Amino acid sequence: MPAYFFWGDDEFRLQEAIHTLRHETLDTDWASFNYDVIPPEANNGPIEALNQAMTPPFGLGQRLVWLQNTSLGQRCSDDLLTELERTLPNLPDTSVLLLTSPNKPDGRGKFARLFKKYGEIREFATIPPWKTDQIRRQVETVARERHISLAPETIDLLVEAVGNDTRQLHLELDKLAIYWNNPQQPIPAEVATSLVTVSTQNSLKLAAAIRQGQTSTALSLVSDLLDRNEPALRMVATLVGQFRLWLWIKLLTSAGVRSDTEIASAAEVSNPKRIYFLKQEIRSTPLPQLQQTLPLLLELESDLKRGKDERAVLQTKIVELCQVFRP
């Protein structure tokens, strides 16, 4: 397929996919002649990309044209759409057109429908850290692709250690593959424990500590996360997502909804079986306390975006949040 649209904020996975596509497309000796990268600030970048894609390659291999960070998935003029309608069906087999964007293309827009017809759209979005079932599947998939056999306990350890950081996942799997010289046996958890950089300090544990009113534990977690260079806004995003999820479930159960499937659908939880455990987590948490958290988290996010000192602002707001849940 000569046309691809890669989107998402998981920069590591996206760059890996681009590297693979480049390796499959270009002849090494002729790559400098047939590899065109068009930056987002280029004048008439989309038109230039389409023109270059229609140009035959020089020498051996194919031509690869990469239009970086395009906004076509969100905004595409009628004139440009007409040009795409004319060009995409006629792309030569000797060329590959690649468009990338951090943002998801609007599925209702004409551009996305047209591109799906003549090309392929691939997602490289970062998995939300609270979706541990998806993170586990990602660990299993990456290990399988790299022909690395892992014991179930080792998979659990990697999920805990790296979360949704795909770059770190690959680094840890590299270490395990180099050390383990018995490919017939899965790598046991005892080996992984000694090699993998395991940190039990993550934003989901921070959310749990806040919900339990454990101020000292929560402050310790904040310090550990900052010391590991965890972005403050990413921490806040995780907290917002987790407390919003808890609030949704508490609201629905308080309203008399008993079906876990119905709750999962309303709360956008992919696995209804997870609802039972989430309900157990907040069984003794009053609804009014959960309702107070989101305004405080919004204030925290606003302070961080205004450039206030990360550590000081986080510590202050975490103390306030923990006070909400103190008996």
Which of residues 238 and 228 earns the better pLDDT score?
238
CATH number, domain at 207? 1.20.272.10
Our count of domains for the chain comes to 3
pLDDT mean across residues, the chain: 90
CATH number of the domain that residue 137 is part of: 1.10.8
CA distance 290 to 267: 15
* DSSP letters for 99-166: EEESS---TTSHHHHHHHHHSEEEE-PPPPTT-HHHHHHHHHHHHHHTT--B-HHHHHHHHHHHTT-H
Domain boundary among 123, 156, 173: 123
Q: pLDDT tens, 126-152?
A: 888 777 888 999 999 999 999 999 999
Residue 198 has pLDDT above 80, yes or no: no
172 and 212 housed in the same domain:
no
Mean pLDDT over residues 303-326, rounded? 93
Q: Is the pTM of this model over 0.75?
A: no
235 with 228: CB under 8 angstroms? no
Residue that has been written with the tokens 């760059």 in this structure: 15
Residues 115, 146 within the same domain:
no
Contact 296, 321 (CB under 8 A): yes
Distance of alpha carbon 294 from alpha carbon 98, whole angstroms: 40
Tell which residue, 67, 11, 14, 57, has the closest CA to residue 33. Answer: 57
Cα gap 241→298, rounded to integer Å: 12
**Cα R_g (the chain), whole angstroms:** 24
Model confidence at 200: pLDDT above 50? no
On the CB side of 296, CA atoms within 13 Å amount to 21
271-295 residue pLDDT tens: 787 788 889 989 899 999 999 999 9
Domain residue limits at 309: 203-324
Count of beta carbons in the 10 Å neighbourhood of residue 318:
22
pLDDT, mean of residues 8-32: 93
